[in-house]
Amino acid sequence: MAPPAQSQRSPSPSQPSGVLIMVNSKSEVSDLKLQLRQLAGSRAPGVDDSKRELFKKVISYMTIGIDVSSLFGEMVMCSATSDIVLKKMCYLYVGNYAKVNPDLALLTINFLQRDCRDEDPMIRGLALRSLCSLRVANLVEYLVGPLGSGLKDSNSYVRMVAVMGVLKLYHISASTCIDADFPSILKHLMLHDSDTQVVANCLSALQEIWSAEASTSEEASREREALISKPVIYYLLNRIKEFSEWAQCLVLELVTKYVPSDSSEIFDIMNLLEDRLQHANGAVVLATIRVFLQLTLSMTDVHQQVYERIKAPLLTLVSSGSPEQSYAVLSHLHLLVMRAPYVFSSDYKHFYCQYNEPSYVKRLKLEMLTAVANESNTYEIVTELCEYAANVDIPIARESIRAVGKIALQQYDVNAIVDRLLQFLEMEKDYVTAEALVLVKDLLRKYPQWSHDCIAVVGNISSKNVQEPKAKAALIWMLGEYSQDMQDAPYVLESLVENWDEEHSAEVRLHLLTAVMKCFFKRPPETQSALGAALAAGIADFHQDVHDRALFYYRILRYNVSVAERVVNPPKQAVSVFADTQSSEIKDRIFDEFNSLSVLYQKVTTSFSQPFVLLCVTQIIKESRLTDIHKYLQPSYMFTDKEHRGPLEFADELGNLSIGEAANNVVPTQMVEENDKDLLLTTSEKEETKGSRNNGSAYIVPYDGSSTSVFASQTQIESAVSNPTLAGHSPQASFAIDDLLGLGIPAAPAVPSPPQLKLNTKAALDPSTFQQKWRQLPVALSQEISVSPQGVAALTAPQALLRHMQSHSIHCIASGGQSPNFKFFFFAQKFEESSNYLVECVINTSSAKAQVKIKADDQNTSQDFSTLFESALSKFGTS
């Protein structure tokens, strides 16, 4: 090709300067048209070179988006040539514009068909590809012949192209493709062709065609099933190394769907594929890992070994390759770490952030560090995180501080961490102080025993230096909660009240109201004037919630001050568990979609809407010969899509659609508006939602009438007061009010009858096995059981319950805590079987509730076991 001697005239295609071209494009295009016309009939020597230059120009215009479709006729005329480079450019052009010029496209059919019979296989292939890429529905009749011979061509390149051609034909006109019986030819080719790329293309095409057909044709759905039958899978697996790396991914994806008949088959497949884990292509490795994980799902021990085996290859992939590639791998590693933190807890150093990593990588790493933190590595991890807190990248610095907080909340021993958090407060950086305040607040809610140390430091922080609403609210909460320990709390609050009008955040004003109330109950003379001012300002507030709350406080104070105190400032219990933002069910479903975008987005696809969409499409195709069917063929993997109405609306009617997290998440929308971290999933909430509350929200924090979930608690208490019958449904919430309303303690729940499950009285399990199992097994059941008043009375020390449960063949492996919170780990074994049940039971004696989490080897019987457990527990203290 002629080197740089580009045409001297106006903008050369190689350096298009946008503006100029736009101005000149019209005249340029007509100029080109003229020149092409001149060359069309010419047979002069060197004419091909001139054509090449012109074609190049046309293509370059096409690329930058200038419409050169008006040249169609001339381009086709010029394409009568033997020059393959010219041909290729012409094919590219025709493919681009045939769709908008269906009439002109007919012109090309002739020469394309002729080229399909050329003696050069290269030209046959290229012509066939172009022919199938025209995407013009009324030309499909011309495709069938060339495709048929293409599939039988002696050259593998032509066959490869022809197979994809069949798929293209299917998308232009499904009925033509099916009527010509192409799918069965593809099936034959797939099982017999010597060229692996032909085989791979057949597989792709058939998967697409049969999936689309499956909804209307039983035969197609059988055929689709047949793809994952043993003979096909084995045939493909045995040749896997002959396939290109990309085709290997395709095969591996298919294998994921295959269900082996027994474990020896599973091991055979894994042995065969093991060296794929050493492949340099991350896509191959991840596809292999998915196969391994899927195959061993039901084999706990092997599944465990798989985790160990894939660790090193994953880490290698993360550190080789471009940042983008490592991000994709890291996201998968992240998923695995979140699923099985203990497997990775010794590799925590790999999750340290490097200063030059993009923030999306750092973010993932911080989450992983939080997840893998355990007794042995917490010190190192927290030390490392503290380094990031001074990071120049402020969002990451914030995340790091939050990570420290999360670790503190999940550890039993928080001694050292509290010190670090308090050091943050002394760093005198606004954002560090802000984040740390929020954390200290959460920490105090879980570990009230640290209040002395924390309050001393918090007391030194001037509220003037805290501007962020979240942090300010946290500080005010602490001022209210610990006003007896903080010398100047009433005065700080008072000055905050004085600046009421300057406070823009309603959240902060709400907190301020509550804090002043609490302070008032603890130090009345000093707070009285502030309280008056706060209530007056609150009632005059334009914000509805603030107004309502102020009014409510005002009225309840007038009604009875001691009632007000019980409502606003009841004795607190420590929060045992903060709500997790993502349900484990979603996590499981994302895990099922390993090696897909779901992992990166951390969202589930609406996978089952796909067949339905395709069904619609098939109908559309049948009803009208829509040339533009492609846009209906988008399987709706939409995560955030609001515009894509078509298929989604249909799917909505199905009634079982769940897009993204909204429908899957048990958390109602009101809750999402608040900071998730501030939400308490308290013991009673799940039960309560079932109760008579008609607003249907699950955001009640019954015993904490003042903290962050204030909206909820307010309405809760209000209704409890106004409607005493409600109190029975939320015994815990109304504990303080019970006496007042003369209801007495609610009756103990009816004792359920024990089911037909027999437990082994002499069950044995060593602690390490227990630990291992506890980590591996999913939670089968999680519920809350009421403990009888007698039980509460008997539970002065953990040992009392141990003996009792043992008499019901439920053995304790670990216990701890002191009044009012006790925590137990129990286990039991099925009689004459080695099937285990594991239980975590947290009993709170002041609320008379037990939080029970059950995990079981045999999930089917976990319900029976749960009933048994409940019945055993309910007898505690009575016998």
Query: Rule CB under 8 A: which of 638-657 touch other proteins?
Result: 638-644
Residue in 65, 145, 691, 752 binding other proteins, rule: CB under 8 A: 65
Pick the binder of other proteins from 218, 308, 413, 623 (CB under 8 A): 308
AA letter at 441: K
Interacting positions 807-846 with other proteins (CB under 8 A): none
CB of 630 to other proteins, least distance (A): 5
| Six-digit token string for 796 | 């002065």
Segment contacting other proteins by CB under 8 A, of 167-175, 449-457, 665-673, 703-711: 167-175
Restricted to residues 277-306, the positions that interact with other proteins (CB under 8 A) are 277-283, 285-287
Q: Which is nearer to other proteins, 88 or 677 (CB)?
A: 88
**Binders in 76-95 for other proteins, by CB under 8 A:** 84-85, 88-89, 92
Site for other proteins in 177-236 (CB under 8 A): 197, 201, 204
Closest listed residue to residue 309, CA positions, set 263, 283, 340, 331 = 340
Q: Which of 238, 319, 695, 769 binds other proteins (CB under 8 A)?
A: 319
Based on CB atoms, which residue is closest to other proteins, 120 or 181?
Answer: 120
CB 364 within 8 A of CB 334: yes
Q: Are strands 781-786 and 849-856 parallel, antiparallel or unpaired?
A: antiparallel
Q: Nearer Cβ to other proteins, position 383 or 495?
A: 383
Taking CB under 8 A as the criterion, the residue among 189, 233, 317, 621 binding other proteins is 317
| Minimum distance, C-beta of residue 688 to other proteins, in the bound complex (Å) | 33
Q: Which amino acid is at 458?
A: V
Q: Two tokens at 193?
A: 């062709």
Q: Minimum distance between the CB of residue 595 and other proteins, rounded to whole angstroms? A: 5
Q: Which of 342, 357, 355, 417 is nearest to 386 (CA)?
A: 417
Per DSSP, helices labelled H in 426-488 are: 430-446, 451-458, 469-481
Minimum Å distance from CB 359 to other proteins?
5
Measured from the CB atom, is 195 or 687 closer to other proteins? 195
Q: Which residue type does 234 have? A: Y
Residues 415 to 434 in contact with other proteins, rule: CB under 8 A: 426-428
User: What is the closest distance, in whole angstroms, from the C-beta atom of residue 327 to other proteins in the complex?
Assistant: 5
| Residue in 315, 506, 626, 779 binding other proteins, rule: CB under 8 A | 315
| Binders in 233-262 for other proteins, by CB under 8 A | 244-247, 249, 253
Minimal distance in Å, beta carbon 681 to other proteins?
A: 24
Nearer to other proteins, 270 or 510 (CB): 270
Burial of 583 (0-12, 13-18, 19+ CB in 10 A): middle
Count of residues of this chain found to bind other proteins when the rule CB under 8 A is applied: 111
Concatenate the DSSP letters of all residues of 75-141 into one string: HHHHT--S-HHHHHHHHHHHHHHGGG-HHHHHHHHHHHHHHTT-SSHHHHHHHHHHHHTS--GGGTH
Distances (CA, A) of 853 to 467, 635, 787, 822, 849: 41, 38, 15, 14, 13
Between 6 and 689, whose beta carbon lies closer to other proteins? Answer: 6
Instruction: Extract the tokens encoding 839.
Output: 């239980």
Answer positive or negative: Cα dihedral of 436, 438, 439, 444.
positive
Q: Among 190, 328, 409, 568, which residue sits at the site for other proteins (rule: CB under 8 A)?
A: 328
Return the exposure string of 488-513: e unless at least 16 CB atoms fall within 10 Å of the residue's CB, then b.
Answer: ebbebbbebbeebeebebebbbbbbb
| Residues from 125 through 164 that contact other proteins (CB under 8 A) | 129, 135, 157, 160-161, 164
Closest approach of Cβ 521 to other proteins, in Å? 37
Write down the least CB distance from residue 437 to other proteins, Å.
17
Stretch that binds other proteins, among 38-46, 311-319, 848-856, 868-876 (CB under 8 A): 311-319
Q: Segment near other proteins (CB under 8 A), from 55-63, 226-234, 448-456, 485-493?
A: 55-63
Burial class of residue 701, CB neighbours in 10 A (0-12, 13-18, 19+): buried
Smallest CA-to-CA distance from 197 within 132, 242, 256 is with 242
Give the nearest distance from C-beta 822 to other proteins in angstroms. 37
Can you tell me the distance from the alpha carbon of 426 to that of 444, in angstroms, rounded to the nearest whole number? 18
Asked if residue 410 lies in contact with residue 443, where contact means CB atoms within 8 angstroms, the answer is: no
Query: Closer to other proteins at the Cβ: 50 or 821?
Result: 50
User: Nearest approach, Cβ of 847 to other proteins (angstroms)?
Assistant: 37
- Length, in residues, of the chain: 879
| Residues 4-23 as x/- pattern, contact with other proteins by CB under 8 A | x---------xxx-x-----
586-645 residues in contact with other proteins (CB under 8 A) are 593, 595-601, 605, 607, 630-631, 633-644
CB of 239: closest distance to other proteins in angstroms?
A: 15
Q: How far is the CB of 452 from other proteins (least distance, A)?
A: 24
Beta bridge partner(s), residue 782: 853
Is residue 856 packed enough to be buried (19+ CB in 10 Å), middle (13-18) or exposed (0-12)? buried
* Chain residues 389-408 in contact with other proteins, contact rule CB under 8 A: 390, 392, 395
Least Å distance, CB 641 to other proteins, is 4
Among 11, 146, 150, 313, binds other proteins (CB under 8 A): 313
When binding is defined by CB under 8 A, the residue of 40, 47, 59, 106 that contacts other proteins is 59
Q: How far apart are CA 123 and CA 108, in angstroms?
A: 15
3-state secondary structure of 829: strand
Write down the least CB distance from residue 32 to other proteins, Å.
16
Distance in Å from the first CA to the final CA of the chain: 98
Residue of 285, 341, 350, 349 whose CA lies nearest to 313: 285
How do 836-844 and 821-829 pair as beta strands?
A: antiparallel
Q: What is the DSSP string of 495-524?
A: HHHHTGGG---HHHHHHHHHHHHHHHHHSH
**Token pair 């999933």: residue:** 681
In the stretch 341-370, what mask flags binding to other proteins with x, by CB under 8 A?
-----x--x--x-xxxxxxx--x-------
Give me the least distance between CB of 179 and other proteins, in Å please.
Answer: 21
